[in-house]
Structures are given as structure tokens and as C-alpha cells.
Amino acid sequence: MLISDIKSRPVYERLSVDASGRRHLVLSDTPRPLAEVIDGTEAAQAPLAYWYVASTSAVDGKPNPAAGAADTASNHGPTETRAFRAIPHVLDRLSHRLGQESVGFRLYVIGEEGFVWDVVRLAREAGLEESECRTAHAGSLRRKVFCVHCKTVTPHVTTSLVVCEGCGANLVVRDHFSRGLSAFMGVQADAEAPGELPPVEEMFP
């Protein structure tokens, strides 16, 4: 779990099924056993689907109820499981589903922060409230960093300093997080003394 005393920094908890939901959708950025992702699926009284990114072209995103049956014994029946080729694929499909959803839908997402908050952004745009979309972190701590100078987002950052892919500035990776941008803020490290940079540390493996 990631914790910070900076208020904008996300705080995550273990996912659990919201009993008030009428339909549930769980998203993961990599294949994970459903039981390791979320608690309470065995007691779910409403349809539950599990979508994950398989990162292979051998999947097509179509429902596979047989795969879900091995994951959970939901009171409502087998979980609808879908595997997607890549993150853009699952996000595109999610946008389509969110456009058709109504009151009672619950969304759960687990993965690296970039993935988690890209999903949350789509959910907010579709009108879901904070209580209807629950998040958990898993995997690498690497960050997307937003340059406050040129507005470029540099992905997959694991160090305390990073060179902006847009303007080339040496950025200090701050702990301030923008939910709208799904990224952490990056500020020029040598703005006051050009060329004077702190040591680079591996911070987000």
C-alpha cells in the first residue's frame, strides 16, 4: 500500500465487493487470480465481470465464462471473464460499457497507478461517483510525470530525477499527484542554479 502525508497522494486499500451494487466490473492491468484481487465475490448477489490485460494477441476480449467459474463461486453464477490484448484495448471497451451503464454499477480497478487513474478518469467522465469506483495499487511503483513547464507527460519513471521527453528539462519527481492527469508533478531541478543537480536515486522500482 502506498501512503504519503501529501494530501493529493492517493491512498489505497484492499478491494472488496460493494453489496449495494447491482452490477460489478473488476479491471486488472495484468492477469491475476480474481480471489487475490478482490474480496467478497463468493457472496456477490449481482452479476460480476472480470476484465484483465493479458498483453498477448492470442486473446480477443470476448467473454469466457468457463475461465471465471474457476475463480469464484458467486451466488449469482460464474464470473464473466475477458482477457484483452493491451491497455488501450480494455480502455476502449470500458468506455463503450460505461456509456451503456446506469445506476447500481460498481467499478473496481487494480494495477500500476497510470492504469488505475486512466480508468478512474474514464469513470468520472461517464458520471460515476467516487464511491462507485474503487481502486487498489499492485505492481511497479513507477510513475507518469507531468512537466509543469511544457505540459508533457513522461511515462515509466523510476528515479527521483527524469529528463522531460518534451522540453528536455531535468525534473524533480514530486509526490504531488493529479487525478485528472493520472500523473505526478515534475519541476525543473536546476531552475535557480543551471547545471547543479542532486544525485539521481532509484525511488520507484
What are the domain boundaries of the chain? 15-137, 140-205
| Prediction pTM value | 0.84
pLDDT value of residue 77: 58
Q: To which residue does cell 521527453 refer?
A: 165
- The residue among 136, 196, 143 whose CA lies nearest residue 15 is 136
Q: Does domain 15-137 have CATH number 3.30.2390?
A: no
Task: Tell whether the model's pLDDT for residue 49 goes beyond 90.
Answer: yes
Contact assessment for residue 62 and residue 30, using Cβ atoms and an 8 Å cutoff: no
- Over the stretch 102-151, which tens digit does the pLDDT of each residue have? 899 999 999 999 899 999 999 999 999 989 999 999 999 999 999 999 99
**Cβ burial, residue 138 (10 Å; 0-12/13-18/19+):** middle
CA–CA distance, 44 with 76 (Å, rounded to integer): 7
